[in-house]
Amino acid sequence: MIDSATQMKPIWYFVGWVLIAIGVLVFAAGVYYMLFPIDLDIALRGMHMSIWWGAILILGGVLLTVFNRKPVNV
């Protein structure tokens, strides 16, 4: 936890969490609309890019949070 005014988590830790949160939403959207397709005029829709891109964002986010969880002195 970040609990003092002299110790701050590295910026990459926060980037990681944002990527995880957004990645989960993108991934969930991809899975949802694969299971319950809607009529959208989109090129390459068969590639299910939301699923792939969501997974990449989650992976990047996890790596950033794991490797940057130690707070640093400011």
Partner 1 sequence: MHTISMTVFDWAILVVYLGFVVWVGFYLKKFTKTDKDYFLAGRRNSAFVAGVAFMSANMGALEVVGYAGQGAEYGLFALHFYLIGAIPAILFLGVFMMRFYYNNRIKSTPGYLKERYDEKTRVLNAISFAVMTVLSSGISLYALALVLKTFLGWNWDLSIWLSAGFVALYITLSGLLSAIFTEVIQFFLIWGGILLLPILGIIDLGGPTKAFASLPQVYTHLWSITGSAADNPMKLGWPALIFGLGFGISFGYWTTDFLIIQRAFSAKDVRSARMAPIISSYFKILLGFVVVGSGMVGLALMRDPNSGFTLLHTGGKINYDSVIPLLMMRFFPPGLVGVGVTALIAMFMAGQAGNMSAFNTVWTYDIYQSVINKNASEKHLIWMGRVATVVGILLSIVGAYWARSMPTIIDYLQAIASWILAPAVAVILLGMFVKWISPDGAFWGMLIGTLVSFAMFMALELGWITPGAIAPGGEASAMAANFWRALWAWLISSGIAMAVSLFTEKRPEAELVGLVRGLTRETEVEQVPLLKKPIFWASVTTVIFIVLNIVFW
Q: x/- contact string, 9-48, with partner 1 (CB under 8 A)? A: --xx-xx--xx-xx--xxxxxx-xx----x-x-xxxx-xx
Say whether residue 59 binds partner 1 (CB under 8 A).
Answer: no
Say whether residue 66 binds partner 1 (CB under 8 A).
Answer: no
In degrees rounded to 5, what are phi and psi of residue 72?
A: -120, 150
Say whether residue 65 binds partner 1 (CB under 8 A).
Answer: no
Q: Coil, strand, or helix at residue 45?
A: helix
**Closer Cβ to partner 1, 22 or 62, answer by number:** 22
Query: Residue 16 burial by CB count (10 A; 0-12/13-18/19+): exposed, middle or buried?
Result: buried
